[in-house]
Structure 1
Amino acid sequence: MADRLYLLNADWFDDQGGPWFCPPGARIEGVLGLYPRLREHLTVTYLDHPHPRPAVIAEVGEANQSCPLLVLDDEFDWPDAQVSEETGARFLQDDDILPYWAARYGIGRPHP
């Protein structure tokens, strides 16, 4: 089973206006653009902004709906992964995804 990445669609509106995009998601999209081979190892799902996000809830529970979110498969041990109390799934969010991809797939790391 592949790692599963959840990203938000761009151009959403909320009570503060819009259209918006997700800055951490844009960074992840940028890395996917730099390293297109990553998509061969991922199942990428784009979600609309409003909560609830049923696909994410099914993976990691209601408390962890923030995106970007990467649900890890069981083939690579990553000690920094969070573990969902509701489902037991291991996952990473936001910039925590990037060091994992560097270690697992051999891409570059962000400059400090």
Structure 2
Amino acid sequence: MTRDILYLLPPGFADNDRREYCPECAEIWGVLAYYPAIKESVEMIYQPIAKPREDLVKLLGDKNQNCPTLVLSAGSPEFEYCGIMTMRGERFINNARDIGRYWSQRYGTAVPRGTGPI
């Protein structure tokens, strides 16, 4: 894996007999709109709303199917206070605020409000 991989739910999906969107995935889309260079640096893969989400299960196990999830490539730097976890030899971040904190350290973007010091 040469680029980080960002797993997201699609912008609109059918669930609960209506069209919905994932608020955390929408937050990530907002960050990518603010900083388009980040979007160019990651591979984005949409996951289905229904579980199991096979791509994530295969990579990170049954308990790590959350979207958004950023799976870090082997060459990606390590930063503190970003919620980086490891499973099956893969490093990953599985929530929007920690992904935003990671990107702020890696790319020099703004820090998500209310997340404390880095």
Same fold judged by TM-score > 0.5?
Answer: yes
Cα deviation, 1:26-54, whole Å, max 9, x if unaligned, reads 00000001100002210111122111111
Instruction: Give the letter for the 1:109 counterpart.
Output: V
The whole-number CA distance in structure 2 between the counterparts of 1:78 and 1:21 is 30
* 8 A contact 1:7–1:44 mirrored in 2: yes
The reply to whether residue 83 of structure 1 matches residue 86 of structure 2 is: yes
The whole-number CA distance in structure 1 between the counterparts of 2:32 and 2:63 is 26
What root-mean-square deviation, in Å, do the aligned CA atoms of Structure 1 and Structure 2 show? 1.4
The whole-number CA distance in structure 1 between the counterparts of 2:19 and 2:49 is 11
Cα deviation, 1:71-92, whole Å, max 9, x if unaligned, reads 01122113431111xx221100
Q: Map 1:12-23 to 2 at 5 A.
A: 12-14=13-15, 16-23=16-23
**Cα shift at 1:11:** 2.5
- Tell me what 1:24 maps to: 24
* Aligned residue pair count: 109
Q: Map 1:62-73 to 2 at 5 A.
A: 62-73=62-73
Q: Map 1:1-112 to 2 at 5 A.
A: 1-14=2-15, 16-75=16-75, 76-79=77-80, 80-84=83-87, 87-94=88-95, 95-112=97-114
* 8 A contact 1:4–1:72 mirrored in 2: yes
Tell me which moved more, 97-106 or 71-80.
71-80
Higher normalized helix content (fraction of residues): 1
> How does the TM-score come out when normalised to structure 1?
0.88
- Unpaired segments of 5 or more residues in structure 1? none
